[in-house]
Every structure is written in C-alpha cells, then in structure tokens.
Structure 1
Amino acid sequence: MRHGLEIRGKNGDLRGEVLRVIGLLVSVTLLGTVGYHLLEGWSWFDCLYMTIITITTTGYREVGKLTVAGKVLSMFLMIFGVATFLYSVDAILPILLEKRIERWKKVLEKMEDHCIICGYGRMGKEMAKELIKELKNVVVIDLDTTRVVSAREDGIIAIQGDCTEEDVLERAGIRRAKCIVACTNSDSVNAFAVMVAKDLNPKVFAIAVLRTPGGEKKLKRAGADMLLSPYHDSARKVCVAVTRPTAADFIEIIGKMGTLMLEKMELKNDKFHDIPLKDTEIRKLTGCIVVTIERNGEIIFPDPDTKVYKGDLLYVLGREDGLKKAHQLITGQ
C-alpha cells in the first residue's frame, strides 16, 4: 500500500513539474508574441516566429526593424526567456531519463535466464554483441559512465555500479541469471565478482577472463566454472591452425553456424546403463551425435557398438532443440 502511494506521489510530482515547465514556456511565448504585436504591429505569425527565435537563441535576422520598445522586449526575452527555456530543458531531461530507468527496472524484474557481463570494454562489448544473438537478454555492469551510455546506445540494459557489490548484482537480477561473465581489467575484481555472484546464486554459470597468469588460482578459488585467457587461448588456436588446419576449420565452421553446439551431459538414465550406444537411439530420436565419452578420466571415441554406463560423460553435438531432447533422454529428467 505504501509502495503504491509512493509511486502515485512520484508520478504526481513529475506531472506537476512538467505542467510547470509547459506553463512557463507558454507564458513567455504568449508574452513575447503579444508584446511584439502591440509594439511593432507585425502579424501574429511573425510575432510568434520572432519570439521563438529569440527564446531559443537561434540567431536568425529580425522579422523587421525594431523600435526602442521592441528592442527592450527582445532584451527581456533574451534574459528571462532564454533562462526559462534552459530551465525547461534542464527540468524535462531528468524526468525523461528517470522514466527510462524505471522502464529498465521493470524489464529487469521480469528477466530470467539472462547473462550478466561485468565490464563493457573491448572484450565485454564483443561478448555482448555475440551473446545477445543467442540469449536475447543481456545486462551490462560497469563503473564507467561512458561505457554504460555506450551499452545503452547499443540497445543493451546497462547498470552503473561496482560488480563486486551485492546490491548492484541484485539489481542486475543475479538470482535469476543463467550466467555471469567477469571481464573487467582486474583479476581481483573478476574474482570477487564471481565469488559474490556464486554466494547469491550458487547455480549461476560463472565465466572469468584471466588478465594475468598469476590470477588463475585466485579465480578458481573464487568459484569460476570456466576461465578464458585471451593470450593463451589465441596461442592454442594458432597452434591448432598450424599443426591441424582441418580441425581448426571445423571449429571455425561450428562457430559461424551458431546453431550447432557441443554439450557435455552426464548419463543418469537407468534405461541406458550397460547397453550399446546404437540401442539408446539418441541420434534417431534427437538428431544429435555422441562424439566422445569420458569415463574415469579416459576419453573414448565411440562406435555404434560401444557400451555406455551410468555416470559416463557424453559429449553431444547438435542443434539447440535436439540437444534439449538429448538432455532429457540422457539424464532421464
């Protein structure tokens, strides 16, 4: 009840401020228009035109030659009218901005399974651009006002604040988020952001970008599910491209296709325990392929007669809709 009254009170204040601003503008415009008409004898339209260009400091030439009284009126409009116009702009812009922020808050309150990106630098910007194609819902957190504005201009919901603060992560909807990507320029900030995020939502998938080699242990202790090292990962990619170009081409094709993904799933379905892979009919029912099996630390490249056992980790390649069906079959959920 109190919250409803507060909202109505705030809306009433905004409405009153807008009405005051409109009233001031209309009053000054009418005063100038009527004044020029009485003092100079111009047409009503010319008087309105003269008033507008004077108030807005546009600087076009006068409609006609001004008398002394007309010049006095012009000076009055230049001082009082311009001040009123600037006050109006200054009063209305914060109102529009507040309305926009309120709209973002409402969107955030309903948002689920979204990705939170901490840091909107070069890497954060590229990640957001790619993630928004798949997840649609992406929220950016950054301390830098310029970066926050840049993210909003790119059509992304952005929050200005410290990503290591609980209240900032709460505003970003961390408890309902699917994943969080910590890609600020500091390993310490990334580690702390992951730690706080995991404390608020233990199920969130946390990815951290490693900025220095010494930060790896710190980020793992913080609870990061995946570490990305731009330099190390690029070096490995170059190595694969040089030594195994076909494999590099295959990875590149998968990345470009976008809809083709590889996922790891643990076999929990009792019906599939101790039977050949072909009898599970995973490929027939889902269109997905089991490319690798991980069992007791050993990697197995299966053929149709390879038996699978409960607890095996299956690496499944397929499209999103097929992977959902495969996940239900393999986990029995």
Structure 2
Amino acid sequence: MRSAADRIRVAVGMVLSVMIFGTLGYWAFGFTLLDAMYQTITTITTVGFRELEEFGTAEKWFTMVLIIVGVSTVLYSFTLVVQAVVEGQLKDFVGRRRMDRQIKNMSGHSIVCGWGRVGAAVAHDLEASGERVVVVDADPERVRDVPYPTVLGDATSDNVLRDAGIERAKSLIAALDGDAANLFVTLSGRDLAPSLFIVARARSDESVSKLEHAGADRVVNPQELGAARMASFVASPNVAEFVDVVMHERSLEFRMQEFDIDRDSPIAGKTLRQANLREASGALVLALRDADGRFTTNPNGDSRIEHHHVVIAVGTHEDLARMAKLVAPA
C-alpha cells in the first residue's frame, strides 16, 4: 500500500500530465503557449470562461476528451489528497489516544523532559537498565520518531507533567537546554510529587545551588562530567574503561547494583558478617550509604546495615538476583 506522501505525489503527477497534454494539444491547434495553458486550465477545472479561438471539429473533439480525462483526473487526484490528509490526521489521533492510554497505565516510570542529545542518551540508558520511560518535548518534529511513549507540550506546564503521569512516576529528569527551564520543571515536579526523585541538568555552576534549592535530588553538569571522563581516560584509562563497561555497555559479566534496605528486611540491624551476603549471594558489597548520604566504602564485617541504608554491590546477574532476594522484606 502506498504511503500518504506517495499518493500525493501520484495525484500531483497526474494533474501535471493532463495539463501538459492539454497545453500541447491546443498549442498544436495554433494557440500560443500561454493561451493553450489558459484554455487547458479553464477546461479541466470546469470554469470555462470562454474559448480563446474559434473551435473547429478537431478542437471540439479534443476538448471533449480533455474534459472527460481532465475532470476525472482532477477529481481523483483531489480524492487522493483528501484521503492522505484525513488518514494522516486520523492515524496521529488514534496513535495519540493509544499512547495516552499507555501512559495512564504506567507507574514507577521515569519522565525525561527534553529530547536533545542529553535527554536521548538518558532515555536509552534508562531503557537498557530496565526502566520504563516517558519523553516530554515541545517540538513535534523531534518527538515524531521517539521510540518511547511521548507527551507533546511544554515540560514547564503542570498539566503536561500530569499527562506524563508524574504522580505515578519514579523519577524526573530535567534535561532541557536552558537552566531556567530546568528550574521551572524541577519546581513543578517537586510541587506535584513531593517524593519524586529529580535529576536536573545544569549548564553553569551558579545554577547548581538554585536547582538544589528548587528541589532537585541531584544536579548534573554534562560538560564537567565529560571533562572528568576525558581526564580519567588519560590518567587511568583501564579503570575508566572498566567502569564504563560495567555501568553502561553491559558487555561484561559483572554488574553494579544498589539495594534499598527496608525496615522489614531480614538483614536490617545486622552486621555484614551476620548477614553473610558475600557467601550467600556471591556478590561483593562495595559500599554502604546511610540516610544522610554518607558513604562507607569497602565496609568490613563489623559494619552494621541499618534500615534506610543503601547497599552497593557488584557481581554477576545471578549473584545480584540472589542478593535482591536476601535483602527483600520477608
């Protein structure tokens, strides 16, 4: 089946062909080129103001053929164009309704505001980590080919964020181009969903504290991160590449993962030695993070795991799956 664009091209080609046929025919009967074109257009459009020259038998037969062929072609072409436009609008409408229903049924997803280079990279990494993503952007051309559920609109609008399911979302990523826009998104997100985890993009250092005060849990400056990453490839290339592979490429057997320790977790209140995580799961605990955000790196066996701690571990997929069962509430 032809696409809408193909059908429109066919329609335009058919009309042009009839116009060329009529113009050449009248020109052969002695009309000037302009008069031949004028006579053709007035004939096939059924306007028919008047005949510019005296018509003989041959001209009359040619005009009758042109009327039948031309009017039929113009009407058919007009039908193709209308069909293509209506089908395109209907397809967009049906697709949007289906996507809206899909978003309404989502919960625990991540909302990425801004489909630029940063937003696209964030969305792809989130998907690779098993997260569900909804993208918000105001540019219809940019969101046309987004491979995730999308909301077309200004991300600084509360209604647009509601359409993205912010009340049911797990996290919000403000990745718009301007710091002011990301500040508004952060303020709106924190107001609409107080417990939402918000990550905001900052272009300038002075915007970092403002975004934090607005409610961002984390503020990231991609330029600074890029510079630090480039420096690490010079200073410690193997370490940097190993971290990249573990965290992003997923081509290595080992993974890093974090586990939130709930109050009802069977290991809450135990030391690492008592929890026996290494022997029972095979995963290695790299660090503990307390409720105040402080890290205990390379914890020993006497390090106590409290509820609201975050355990950061490394291991194979199977090791981490076993650890998830060990720390889950009974």
Question: TM-score, length-normalised on structure 1?
Answer: 0.70
Aligned to 2:164: 172
Matches within 5 A, 1:46-125: 56-57=14-15, 59=17, 67-125=62-120
Aligned to 2:152: 160
- CA offsets per residue over residues 105-150 of structure 1, 9 Å max, x none? 1111112222211111111122222222333632111111221213
Pair 1:146–1:254, CA change in 2 (3 A) = same
Structure 2: distance between partners of 1:307 and 1:134: 29
Matches within 5 A, 1:116-195: 116-135=111-130, 137-151=132-146, 155-195=147-187
Aligned to 1:214: 206
Offset of residue 161 of structure 1: 0.5
Offset of residue 200 of structure 1: 1.9
Offset of residue 171 of structure 1: 1.0
Matches within 5 A, 1:151-300: 151=146, 155-255=147-247, 256-257=249-250, 260-263=255-258, 265-266=260-261, 268=263, 272=267, 276-294=271-289, 297=294, 299-300=296-297
Secondary structure of 1:162's counterpart equals coil
> In 1, are the aligned partners of 2:265 and 2:327 still within 8 Å (CA)?
no
Offset of residue 291 of structure 1: 1.2
Aligned to 1:310: 306
Name the aligned partner's letter for residue 160 of structure 1: L
Offset of residue 169 of structure 1: 0.9
What is the root-mean-square deviation of aligned Cα atoms in Å? Answer: 3.3
Offset of residue 233 of structure 1: 1.1
Aligned to 1:36: none
Name the aligned partner's letter for residue 175 of structure 1: E
Offset of residue 163 of structure 1: 0.6
Structure 1: distance between partners of 2:327 and 2:187: 31
Pair 1:90–1:307, CA change in 2 (3 A) = closer
> In 2, are the aligned partners of 1:267 and 1:313 still within 8 Å (CA)?
no
Structure 2: distance between partners of 1:246 and 1:77: 72
Moved over 6 A (4+): 52-55
> In 2, are the aligned partners of 1:268 and 1:330 still within 8 Å (CA)?
no
Pair 1:137–1:144, CA change in 2 (3 A) = same
Name the aligned partner's letter for residue 186 of structure 1: G
Aligned to 2:56: none
> In 1, are the aligned partners of 2:270 and 2:306 still within 8 Å (CA)?
no
> In 1, are the aligned partners of 2:266 and 2:328 still within 8 Å (CA)?
no
Unaligned runs of 5+ in 1: 1-51
> In 1, are the aligned partners of 2:287 and 2:295 still within 8 Å (CA)?
no
Structure 1: distance between partners of 2:194 and 2:321: 22
Matches within 5 A, 1:27-46: none
- CA offsets per residue over residues 10-60 of structure 1, 9 Å max, x none? xxxxxxxxxxxxxxxxxxxxxxxxxxxxxxxxxxxxxxxxxx989954849
Secondary structure of 1:234's counterpart equals helix
Unaligned runs of 5+ in 2: 1-9, 26-60
Structure 1: distance between partners of 2:149 and 2:165: 12
Question: TM-score, length-normalised on structure 2?
Answer: 0.71
Name the aligned partner's letter for residue 177 of structure 2: N
Structure 2: distance between partners of 1:261 and 1:166: 35
| Paired-residue identity, % | 22
> In 2, are the aligned partners of 1:179 and 1:205 still within 8 Å (CA)?
yes
